[in-house]
């Protein structure tokens, strides 16, 4: 399932963000923890792997607004390098 979601995000990012470019964006979605780390599932069904410095263990399943740079992680999967995160109430 995670691979399918990442494929959807990869297609989206390929259409929006040129290869090698990073674009700052803000996304709102639900945090979930998977094998590859934490991801953010957004309303359109896509998800993005989060690259962050802090532990998000207690936040899984919660809605967050995340701002960061959209790009790709080492394996080429879509990723969001987190610059700021806030709770959505």
The residues near 81 (Cβ < 8 Å, ≥ 6 apart) are 22, 51, 52, 68, 69, 71
Instruction: Compute the distance between CA of residue 6 and CA of residue 49 in angstroms, rounded to an integer.
Output: 8
The residues near 35 (Cβ < 8 Å, ≥ 6 apart) are 2
Instruction: Compute the distance between CA of residue 36 and CA of residue 32 in angstroms, rounded to an integer.
Output: 11
Mean pLDDT of 24-49: 86
pTM score: 0.66
Question: Is 17's pLDDT higher than 60?
Answer: no
Which phi and psi (to 5°) does residue 19 adopt? Answer: -55, 130
Residue ranges per structural domain of the chain: 2-87
- CATH number among 3.60.10.10, 3.60.15.10, 2.60.40.10, 2.40.50.140, domain 2-87: 2.40.50.140
Q: Who has greater pLDDT, 88 or 12?
A: 88
What is the pLDDT at residue 74?
A: 81
Question: Is 22's pLDDT higher than 80?
Answer: no
Nearest to 66 by CA among 58, 75, 79: 79
């Amino acid at each position: 399932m995670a691979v399918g979601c990442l494929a959807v995000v990869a297609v989206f990012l390929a259409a929006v963000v040129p290869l090698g470019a990073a674009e700052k964006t803000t996304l709102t979605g639900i945090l979930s923890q998977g094998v590859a780390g934490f991801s953010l599932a957004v309303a359109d069904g896509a998800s993005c792997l989060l690259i962050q410095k802090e532990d998000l263990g207690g936040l899984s399943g919660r809605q967050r607004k995340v701002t960061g740079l959209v790009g790709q992680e080492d394996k080429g999967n879509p990723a969001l390098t987190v610059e700021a995160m806030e709770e959505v109430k």
